Amino acid sequence: MTYGVALRLDHGLVFMSDTRTNAGVDNISTYRKTFTWCDPGKSVVTLLCAGNLATTQAVVSLIDERMKAPSDRSPSILGLPSMFQVARTVGNTLKEVISEHAEAGPVGASPFGATLIVGGQVKGSKPRLFLIYPEGNFIEAGSDTPFFQIGETKYGRPILVRAYDRQMSLAAAAKLLIVSFDSTIKANLSVGPPLDLTYYPADSLQPVRQSRIRIEDEYYRTVSEGWGDALRSALDSLPDYPTEI
């Protein structure tokens, strides 16, 4: 499993992904699931991956290789005129990779599917965020649905629904994501640290800023422990059930 979230905010885009991959509970590894590309001043793209690791690695490698061979006729992820075209290119690449393995040959016990989040900005338009399905089609985040989750989405969703605010700072959004991830990590062994945080201030068109958050980091521990106390205080602040028990 995996857990990945991307928020669309007035101040920019914030992404977080865990790094655990597993095939069963006895075969776990650590892999980065966030990838970014940038052509400074022109376009910035960030990709979060959930699903079959072979599939998502192939998608990322195809995007990379196409960039490295400009003479290749396939479109590069940079240099496209809009984020819609970026999402379409990534979606088509994902569909191709899955089809290649699914259509013929041995059938794996695990499906070849993957779900991606693509976000970024192309000069001349606003930052945009897309959720890409294994079929290659995709949806865009709007003002009613301003964030996307992939992978093990349920445990960490209530806090996002309650506390997301499009006007929050990127630093507050990073904190919110850590809380959402901490709830998930405490409940599901297949989501695990360290966490990759990526943030893109709107209109900067410069490389995203990234940091890796470890569970033993002081800030993580402060938030994780503080959140337990804060939640209990929050619950205490509400009236008990009124029937005399």
Residues that bind a second copy (CB under 8 A): 154-159, 161-163, 165, 169-172, 174-176, 178-179, 183, 186-187, 197, 199, 201, 209, 211, 219, 222-223, 226-228, 230-235, 237-245
**Spatial distance between the Cα atoms of 30 and 19, rounded to a whole number of angstroms:** 5
The residue among 24 and 239 lying less far from a second copy, judged by its C-beta, is: 239
The residue among 103 and 216 lying less far from a second copy, judged by its C-beta, is: 216
What's the closest the beta carbon of residue 217 comes to a second copy, in angstroms? 10
With 0-12 / 13-18 / 19 or more C-beta atoms within 10 angstroms meaning exposed / middle / buried, residue 27 is exposed
**Spatial distance between the Cα atoms of 173 and 179, rounded to a whole number of angstroms:** 10
* Other C-beta atoms lying within 10 Å of the C-beta of residue 189: 11
**Spatial distance between the Cα atoms of 168 and 9, rounded to a whole number of angstroms:** 7
The residue among 52 and 184 lying less far from a second copy, judged by its C-beta, is: 184
What's the closest the beta carbon of residue 201 comes to a second copy, in angstroms? 7
What's the closest the beta carbon of residue 173 comes to a second copy, in angstroms? 8
- Tell whether the torsion through CA atoms of 83, 86, 90 and 91 is positive or negative: positive
User: Taking Cα atoms as reference points, which of 51, 14, 15 lies closest to residue 134?
Assistant: 51
The residue among 35 and 155 lying less far from a second copy, judged by its C-beta, is: 155
What's the closest the beta carbon of residue 181 comes to a second copy, in angstroms? 11
The residue among 10 and 100 lying less far from a second copy, judged by its C-beta, is: 10
What's the closest the beta carbon of residue 73 comes to a second copy, in angstroms? 39
What's the closest the beta carbon of residue 112 comes to a second copy, in angstroms? 25
What's the closest the beta carbon of residue 67 comes to a second copy, in angstroms? 27
The residue among 92 and 169 lying less far from a second copy, judged by its C-beta, is: 169
The residue among 53 and 191 lying less far from a second copy, judged by its C-beta, is: 191
